[in-house]
């Protein structure tokens, strides 16, 4: 698989009123992502509530996305789980249904204790899908596993034949740049902090995965376009719209708040699963008012691809 260029949306789980997974909305989500100009979707990750789903549900969701995408857009399937045996089942299934790539976080209950231990664990997962590109999902704030990622690449490239790169969800831009530069850019290092997309582009990012691309892709695609045209000030001004939105967002639990934005855009995803809880009606109204105050929706709509 060639390196991924552009934006991958980390999509949200969708539930019916009875709490079961809603598969019927997936084609509409995929069509929105394609119409918004995205390169792919990343499913069953943090925003897709992978850890809150059973592996049977995750398999059903993966099948629905692969079918709906029909090779029009990349489908990256997150297969991480606290049990490596379950990760392997998910990885093998993703390969069997024709996913474009798989990804996994580190084990987050019994945690790897060294880079070597992490690599051995990840190699075990990746080997269950020997023909599918693999991305290690580095998200230390949620897993509590913060290893040196250049050390990881050095050891993992020998142990994981399918290693395509890293989904790098951390704000440590200096390490991100070092990973990009490793062996003259051998690996695909996808940046995962949406509100820092512009600084990531400045150190060489070509692809990124993020949750807010699900509902604000045009804004970020404009950042990329302006940056590539050498319009630094305009790119910074556009990126500031993301920063302002995230500053509103972080006053609330981030996943429920982003799901509320999807509802504001006409996608009813149902209630998230415990321990996550949806925003209260008051919080949602206040949140919407704060987004309208910064003109967020109008800005996204005004820069949308015609």
Q: Which residues are catalytic?
A: 137, 167
8 A C-beta contact, residue 201 and residue 172? no
Binding site for pyruvate: which residues? 209
Q: What is the distance between the alpha carbons of residues 57 and 65, in angstroms, rounded to a whole number?
A: 12
DSSP E strand boundaries for 115-204 = 134-138, 163-168, 188-191
Query: Are 41 and 30 within 8 A, CB to CB?
Result: yes
Binding region: 209
Contact 136, 104 (CB under 8 A): yes
**Integer angstrom CA distances of residue 129 from 19, 138, 160, 192:** 31, 19, 11, 24
User: In the numeric block, which tokens belong to residue 167?
Assistant: 């989904």
C-alpha to C-alpha distance for 97 and 166, rounded to whole angstroms = 22
Residues 6+ apart with CB under 8 A from 41: 8, 9, 10, 11, 29, 30, 33, 65, 69, 73, 74, 75, 76
Q: How far is CA 263 from the centre of its chain?
A: 19
Contact, 109 vs 74, CB < 8 A? no
Residue 278, Cβ neighbours under 10 Å: how many?
18
In angstroms, the CA 109 to CA 81 distance is 9
CB 204 within 8 A of CB 187: no
86 contact partners, CB below 8 Å, separation of at least 6:
55
């Amino acid at each position: 698989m060639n390196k991924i260029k552009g934006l991958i949306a980390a999509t949200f789980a969708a539930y019916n009123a009875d709490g079961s997974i809603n598969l019927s909305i997936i084609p509409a989500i995929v069509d929105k992502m394609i119409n918004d100009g995205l390169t792919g979707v990343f499913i069953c990750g943090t925003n897709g509530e992978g850890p809150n789903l059973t592996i049977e549900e995750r398999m059903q969701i993966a099948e629905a996305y692969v079918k709906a995408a029909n090779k029009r857009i990349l489908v990256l399937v997150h297969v991480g789980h606290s049990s490596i045996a379950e990760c392997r089942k998910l990885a093998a299934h993703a390969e069997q249904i024709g996913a474009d790539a798989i990804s996994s976080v580190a084990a987050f209950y019994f945690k790897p204790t060294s880079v070597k231990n992490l690599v051995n664990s990840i190699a075990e997962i990746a080997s269950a899908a020997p023909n599918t590109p693999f991305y290690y999902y580095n998200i230390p704030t949620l897993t509590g596993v913060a290893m040196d990622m250049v050390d990881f690449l050095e050891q993992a490239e020998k142990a994981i034949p399918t290693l395509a790169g890293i989904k790098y969800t951390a704000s440590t831009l200096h390490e991100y740049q070092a990973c990009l530069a490793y062996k003259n850019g051998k690996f695909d290092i996808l940046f995962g902090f949406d509100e820092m997309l512009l600084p990531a582009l400045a150190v060489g990012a070509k692809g990124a995965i993020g949750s807010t691309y699900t509902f604000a892709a045009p804004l970020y695609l404009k950042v990329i376009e302006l940056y590539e045209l050498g319009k630094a000030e305009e790119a910074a001004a556009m990126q500031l719209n993301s920063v302002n939105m995230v500053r509103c967002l972080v006053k609330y639990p981030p996943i429920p708040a982003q799901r509320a934005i999807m509802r504001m855009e006409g996608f009813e995803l149902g209630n998230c699963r415990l321990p996550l809880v949806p925003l209260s009606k008051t919080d949602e109204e206040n949140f919407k008012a704060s987004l309208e105050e910064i003109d967020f929706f109008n800005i996204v709509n005004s820069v949308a691809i015609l």
